[in-house]
A and B are shown apart, each in its own frame.
Chain A
Amino acid sequence: MINDTSVGDVLIVKPTKQRLDAQEAGSFKEHMGQRIHAGHMQIVLDLSRVEFIDSSGLGAIVSSLKMLGGNGSLSLCGIRDTIMSMFKLTRMDRVFPMFATAEEALAALAK
């Protein structure tokens, strides 16, 4: 299950399952692909419900960024400590803008 909320030009995508793993990665990527093809180019991925991301889940997030093709932006927010250490280990903190909350991510995009 993934919830979408539009705020102006920005789409907030919030997976509601606890795990973003090999089982969920395919449908997550498909969901992101549909939104991007529908023209959403500024996306905030709210991970506050997600407790575990494996290598397939990480691959799906990076694929989404690649689908935006440099014309849009993908920010992350609500990242738990365990997931943050995985993002740091793989240097994703240098690839994605990261924020504590969706509001902060929106404020940064509005600038």
Chain B
Amino acid sequence: MMRILIADDDEVNRFLLEAMLQDWGYDCLVAGDGLEAWQRLCSEEIQFVISDVMMPNMDGIELCRRIRDANLPHYVYFILLTASYEKSSLIIGMEAGADDFLNKPFDQAELQVRIRAGERVLRLEQTLQQRNAALNEAYTRIQRDLEAAARMQHSLLPKAAGTIAGITFDWIFRPCTFVAGDIFNFFRIDEQHLGFYHLDVAGHGIPSAMLSVTLSQVLSPTDGQHGLLKRQQPDAAGHTILPPSEVISTLNHRFQSQDDSLLYFTMIYGFIDTKAARVTLTQAGHPSPVYLPRGGKAVLLGTGGFPVGMLPEVDYETLTLDFQPGDRLALYSDGVTECMNQAHELFGETRLMRYVEEAGALPLNEVMQNLERYLHAWKGDNAFEDDVSVLAFEAI
């Protein structure tokens, strides 16, 4: 039952109004002036007020103003009863935030329809508030889940930059939303070999991030007994490191996307043979890595390759290069080269190569820190439109 508070200093008017409202089935509260009404509004949940203008202690206009200023947790519908000669109180009352007006002496039927109109507004307001609350709750939950997902994804990256078996590595990772479609890793496969990959799932957001997380698990050297990267030899004497092209072909077969799905990824997977000082890698639709031989000129490696999961039964090529002390290799996603500045100019491969070359004398960690700053300065703001990530390593 709707509760209505009547504020009027005239006892007769108050009595008549109360009887009328009770007759129509409303729950009625009365106050002899604005102040009393205000006190009741503060202590009880009242959503509807019918108030006279002229009252001692606090008039109807002031009462209305207070209600609006108080920012109550619920809306209060306010009808002001004005005498027909008080033309100006209509304007002042509206300014104070009154919802409706009724001239005294008022017509019963008119009052009834105006109260009903007020009830409709309150109902709408209530529905809106419920929906907002539900949305807010959902939003908070999604935000929390995304933060947890981002933490989980971060935990899959190499723990810290450092040196393994004579190879120093470092990286940049800047997802454009909470979670990224980019993921990479650098790890030991066996005594002699270090594996590395950098991959970028098409699109960004949750589906891409979920696939990137799955892939990082699949590509982990501890996945299964030997995982995707090694094969046990029949005589059980040891294992063979599988060529990168074979690893990527297996992924292409396993992660073939359905016809109606756009989910595929580009990647580079390879390994470093630390004894032979050689790098072997396969480029699957991923941007060509930057290779900087010690003291030499930076070059782009490879001409491309099919993305993974896009088309079945395609062949992948393997590329091999010398990797002597002082040589560097940088893998990156297209979020780096397609990073656009305010003048709509792309960062591009040439700029990246030139930077890597010019920074050749700096230690690798400084090269990466400076590159991240460079990209920020290039972008001009913090809102990268795509995941930005770089994985670089150097033989020492």
Contacts and interface: CB of A to CB of B under 8 A. Distances in A.
Interface of A: 22, 25, 29, 54-56, 58-60, 62-63, 66-67, 82, 88-91, 95
Interface SS of A by simple majority: helix
B200 to A, nearest CB: 7
Contact of B334 (A55, A59, A62, A95): A55
Contacts of B264: 55, 59, 62
A89 B303 CA distance: 6
Contacts of B138: none
Contact of A88 (B262, B303, B314): B303
The 5 A-B residue pairs with the shortest CB-CB distance in the complex, in nearest-first order: A59-B262, A55-B202, A89-B304, A90-B285, A66-B259
B204 A22 contact: yes
Given A55-B334, A90-B266, A63 B287 contact: no
Contacts of A29: 262
A91 B260 contact: no
Interface of B: 200, 202-204, 259-264, 266, 285, 287-288, 303-307, 310-311, 314, 334, 338, 346, 386
A37 B346 CA distance: 38
A53 to B, nearest CB: 11
Given A55-B200, A56-B203, A91 B334 contact: no
A67 B304 contact: no
B117 to A, nearest CB: 43
Nearest to A51: B344
A91 B203 contact: no
Contacts of A58: 202, 307
Nearest to B205: A22
Q: A25, A56, A60, A89: which has the most chain B beta carbons within 10 Å?
A: A89
A89 B301 CA distance: 11
Q: A56, A60, A67: which has the most chain B beta carbons within 10 Å?
A: A56
A58 B263 CA distance: 11
10 contacts: A22-B204, A55-B203, A56-B262, A62-B311, A82-B346, A89-B304, A90-B305, A90-B306, A91-B305, A91-B306
Q: B204, B303, B307: which has the most chain A beta carbons within 10 Å?
A: B307
A89 to B, nearest CB: 4
A58 B203 CA distance: 10
Given A55-B202, A91-B306, 16 more contacts: A54-B334, A54-B386, A55-B200, A55-B334, A56-B202, A56-B262, A59-B203, A62-B264, A62-B310, A63-B259, A67-B259, A89-B287, A89-B288, A89-B304, A90-B307, A95-B311
Contacts of B285: 89-91
A17 to B, nearest CB: 15
A66 to B, nearest CB: 5
Contact of A22 (B203, B303, B334): B203
Contacts of B303: 88-89
A63 B264 CA distance: 11
Nearest to A82: B346
Contacts of A56: 202-203, 262
Contacts of A62: 264, 310-311
B202 A91 contact: no
A60 B260 CA distance: 9
Contact of B314 (A25, A60, A66, A91): A91
B352 to A, nearest CB: 14
Q: A29, A54, A58, A91: which has the most chain B beta carbons within 10 Å?
A: A91
A88 B307 CA distance: 11
A67 B310 CA distance: 13
Nearest to A25: B262
